[in-house]
């Protein structure tokens, strides 16, 4: 208790952006961003058998933030993990955020985040240059949907003077739950409709940006700039009852398909609901068989998907993942 998190997208990488008038808040279930500083006891020849001299080297600031998947509070994390790019369309009483697969380039929008984190009721930390290296979304029967972000940050400072919590305003809207989620599979993205929904018991979706974590230069302990992103790797798996051969046949035949994860949550107005849609337009089942664990279990299959770019990989409009989020924001971030 008394721990809290505020954040804000940075105009310039590494420049602290959270103020009492420019911030967003979330209610995480845990925040594990920590500072590590490499050190070395120098192995030198001397008349004594012990170590005599000591140096400090690279400073690493990293960790995870875990929270429930929320239509208002999770937006910045979804955008940053996808590469920083989104477009906004105002609907007067709501807003649509179309999040495309960006590359953390200057033309993208949310390239890095600053965080203010109060740990307990005494001390607060400022973290700058936060970029999401890995993002995992998951949901299972009987649970609230979850978001876990693994962050790589540039630097940190500590202060007992910040009293930012006096300005906090948390959303009263509930996060998405498994009851609000639907899994759809069909041959193409364009044919994903309500008629192709399939029953599943859980899913896990992970985006790995493969950031270069040692982006450094002589003269400084911290990262010299926003770490470049390597190849984006998207992985997806579901748990499904093994009661037909349909999924198994997709696996054996390496059938091309498309997936949609759809969450429809709390009402904004009579016209709109808060809604998250995730599209994987080109997937292949790479597993599909089920194991018989005991005589007192329902047969289940854990199905993994290879997620590929759709269309011509030589064009910038091709993608392997896309998201749209509708919430109550009527202006862009």
pLDDT tens per residue across span 27-59: 999 999 999 999 999 999 999 999 999 999 999
Which alpha helices (DSSP H) does 180-292 contain, by range?
Answer: 246-253
Taking all residues of the chain, what is their mean pLDDT, rounded to a whole number? 93
CA–CA dist 256, 143 (Å, integer):
30
Nearest to 183, CA basis, from 252, 242, 255, 263? 263
Range 225-250 burial, b when 16+ CB lie within 10 A, else e? ebbebeebebebbbebebeeeebbeb
**Hey, what are 296's tokens?**
């007192």
| pLDDT at site 87 | 94
Q: Does the pTM exceed 0.85?
A: yes
Q: Count how many residues are written for the chain.
A: 333
pLDDT reading at 92 higher than 90: no
Residue 137's pLDDT is what?
Answer: 98
Sign of CA pseudo-dihedral 73, 74, 79, 80: positive
Q: How confident is the model at residue 84 (pLDDT cuts 50, 70, 90)?
A: very high
CA 185 vs CA 189, 236, 243, 262: distances in Å: 9, 13, 17, 11
The pair of structure tokens assigned to 306 is 């290879």
Is pLDDT of 316 > 80? no
Q: What is the CA radius of gyration of the chain?
A: 22
Task: List pLDDT tens digits, range 228-275.
Answer: 999 999 999 999 998 888 888 999 999 999 999 999 999 999 899 999
Question: In the prediction, which pLDDT does 161 show?
Answer: 65
Dihedrals φ, ψ of 132, to 5°? -85, 115
> What would the two tokens of residue 146 be?
């979850």
Q: What is the mean pLDDT of residues 74-78?
A: 97
| Residues 213-235, mean pLDDT to the nearest whole number | 94
Find the mean pLDDT for residues 100-126.
91
């Amino acid at each position: 208790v008394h721990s809290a998190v505020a954040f804000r997208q940075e105009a310039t990488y590494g420049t602290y952006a959270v103020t009492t008038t420019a911030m967003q808040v979330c209610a995480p279930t845990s925040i594990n961003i920590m500072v590590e500083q490499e050190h070395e006891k120098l192995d030198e020849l001397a008349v004594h058998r012990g170590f005599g001299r000591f140096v400090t080297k690279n400073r690493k600031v990293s960790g995870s933030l875990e929270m429930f998947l929320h239509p208002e509070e999770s937006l910045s994390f979804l955008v940053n993990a996808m590469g920083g790019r989104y477009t906004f369309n105002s609907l007067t009483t709501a807003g649509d955020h179309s999040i495309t697969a960006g590359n953390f380039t200057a033309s993208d929008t949310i390239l890095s985040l600053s965080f203010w984190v109060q740990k307990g009721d005494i001390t607060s930390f400022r973290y700058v240059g936060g970029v999401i290296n890995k993002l995992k979304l998951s949901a299972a029967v009987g649970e609230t949907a979850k978001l876990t972000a693994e962050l790589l940050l540039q630097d940190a400072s500590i202060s007992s003077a910040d009293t930012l919590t006096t300005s906090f305003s948390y959303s009263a809207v509930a996060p998405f739950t498994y009851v609000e989620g639907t899994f759809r599979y069909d041959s193409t993205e364009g044919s994903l409709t309500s008629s192709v929904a399939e029953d599943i018991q859980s899913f896990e979706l992970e985006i790995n940006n493969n950031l270069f974590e040692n982006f450094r230069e002589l003269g400084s302990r911290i990262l010299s700039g926003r770490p470049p992103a390597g190849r984006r790797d998207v992985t997806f798996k579901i748990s499904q009852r093994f009661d037909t051969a349909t999924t198994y046949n997709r696996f054996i035949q390496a059938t091309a398909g498309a997936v949609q994860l759809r969450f429809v949550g709390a009402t904004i107005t009579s016209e709109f609901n808060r809604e998250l849609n995730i599209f994987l337009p080109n997937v292949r089942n790479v597993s599909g068989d089920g194991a018989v664990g005991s005589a007192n279990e329902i047969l289940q299959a854990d199905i993994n998907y290879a997620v590929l770019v759709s269309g011509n990989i030589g064009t910038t409009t091709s993608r392997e993942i896309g998201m749209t989020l509708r919430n109550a924001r009527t202006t862009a971030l």
